[in-house]
Amino acid sequence: MRLAAVPSSIPAGEVRPPSKDETRRNCGGETMGTTWRVDLHSSRMESVGEVRHTVAEVLERLVGQMSHYRPDSDLGRFNRARGAQWVNLPVEMFHVLDTALSVALETEGAFDPTLGHLVNSWGFGPNGPTGTPPDAQAVLDGLFRRGWSRLLLDPARGRAWQPGGVSVDFSSIAKGFAVDQVARVLDDFGIANFLVEIGGELRSRGVKSGGHPWWVAIEQPPDCEGFPEVVVALCGQAVATSGDYRRYFMHDGVRYSHTIDPRTGKPVRGDLASVTVIHDQCILADAYSTALLVLGEAAGHLFAEKRQLPALFIARDGNGFRHSCTRAFQDMLD
Ligand code: AMP
Ligand code: MG
């Protein structure tokens, strides 16, 4: 079975379908430990080469700023700053931190960009996999060292306050931001019809030839056979999915996934296997999908309904799965 989700309205001026001389082309590469891909309609073969080059440059710049894995990144510099001090940040990183702190505030800390030490202790950070849960002391230590509310921003001077020892991790938001930045590059090239994807997070503009929407299949947990495939007509919007199957380890029959509940310092428990969010901005689709996975089914639904967010929840149910969605998502299915 297949369910199709279509936006109830398309922003005015959004769509200029590809003309006959515009051919569908694509380019891609590797970034952020995953892959990127752009599908676009263009009349000029050369423009794809230029697009590939510019996108690769932009992504390299973002990785140089925000990679948790590169000690020489601006993020590495922020995390290593000795003692309490202001740290100057590049404009894009400042924006990502600002957005991450807003989502942390909005979700009462369920989304927390300062879990770097905990993420590492659980084997999902730059120190590499451990395969076993950390001891209680390491969890306590990570809980003590997190603290999004202790970071401060100084927009006038483009700097952030490092209270000392806080480890920022942008893995739950940087891909979404990068998708938005790539979409901006394509806008600047004057490309009216495209689909951008980085590691499963997507954003589109316009339509494909013949006026057909960019249909994208929503990522589902593996072993979901027999479960309805959900496809979305992305029209100027972004979609992001967070799942407990993306990175995890099994220990004594328990699944430990890379999404950490900041209240316990441990991987989230509960039935949710994945959450997908649709939003105009991929940075927010990415942050919210992580946040809803932490909040869990009941609180996640409440949060998303209150903000009229289209969101799809897939939960484990015995040996199978069940799904539920918000009213805004249901409206797209009807
Ligand atoms: P995503 O796949 O976008 O849901 O991001 C998951 C990644 O975000 C994990 O690998 C961690 O690096 C980081 N992370 C884990 N828990 C949280 C959380 N509660 N809030 C923000 N980021 C988190
Ligand atoms: Mg995310």
**Residue 14: per-residue pLDDT:** 62
Q: How far is the CA of 28 from the centre of ligand 1 (A)?
A: 25
Q: How far is the CA of 176 from the centre of ligand 1 (A)?
A: 12
Strands (E), 178-294: 194-198, 201-205, 214-217, 229-234, 238-243, 248-251, 254-257, 260-261, 266-267, 272-279
Which residues are bridge partners to 322 per DSSP?
A: 315
Ligand 1 atom at minimal distance to the Cα of residue 113: 21
**Residue 245: per-residue pLDDT:** 87
For a substitution probing ligand 1, which of 170, 290, 293, 295 has the most ligand atoms within 8 Å of its CB?
290
For a substitution probing ligand 1, which of 111, 198, 259 has the most ligand atoms within 8 Å of its CB?
259
Ligand 1 atom at minimal distance to the Cα of residue 293: 4
- Do 114 and 166 touch, CB atoms closer than 8 A? yes
Cβ neighbours, 10 Å, residue 117: 23
Ligand 1 atom at minimal distance to the Cα of residue 290: 4
**Residue 118: per-residue pLDDT:** 98
pLDDT tens, the chain, 334 aa long = 788 888 877 665 667 888 888 889 999 999 999 999 999 998 776 689 999 999 999 999 999 999 999 999 999 999 999 889 999 999 999 999 999 999 999 999 999 999 999 999 999 999 999 999 999 999 999 999 999 999 999 999 999 999 999 999 999 999 999 999 999 999 999 999 999 999 999 999 999 988 899 999 998 898 887 788 999 999 899 999 999 988 999 999 999 999 999 999 999 998 999 999 999 999 999 999 999 999 999 999 999 999 999 999 999 998 889 999 999 999 999 8
Residues whose CB falls within 8 Å of the CB of residue 182, separated by 6 or more in sequence, listed in order: 36, 38, 55, 58, 59, 196, 198, 203
- Pick the residue whose CA is nearest to atom 3 on ligand 1: 172
Q: How far is the CA of 120 from the centre of ligand 1 (A)?
A: 12
Please state, in angstroms and rounded to a whole number, the distance separating the CA atoms of residues 308 and 292: 13
Which protein residues have a CB closer than 5 Å to ligand 2 (ion)?
A: 172, 242, 286, 290
Q: How far is the CA of 285 from the centre of ligand 2 (A)?
A: 7
The DSSP secondary-structure symbol of 33 reads T
Ligand 1 atom at minimal distance to the Cα of residue 112: 20
Q: How far is the CA of 288 from the centre of ligand 2 (A)?
A: 7
Specify the amino acid at residue 117: H
Ligand 1 atom at minimal distance to the Cα of residue 247: 10
- Pick the residue whose CA is nearest to atom 1 on ligand 1: 172
Q: How far is the CA of 209 from the centre of ligand 2 (A)?
A: 31
Q: How far is the CA of 86 from the centre of ligand 1 (A)?
A: 25
What tokens were used for 142? 């990570």
- What's the length of the chain? 334
Q: Distance between alpha carbon 273 and the CA centroid of its chain, in Å?
A: 16
Q: How far is the CA of 20 from the centre of ligand 2 (A)?
A: 37
**Residue 55: per-residue pLDDT:** 98
Ligand 1 atom at minimal distance to the Cα of residue 294: 19
Q: How far is the CA of 210 from the centre of ligand 2 (A)?
A: 33
- Pick the residue whose CA is nearest to atom 10 on ligand 1: 258
Spell out which residues line ligand 1, taking CB within 6 angstroms.
111-113, 115, 119, 124, 169, 171-172, 242, 246-247, 258-260, 262, 286, 290, 294
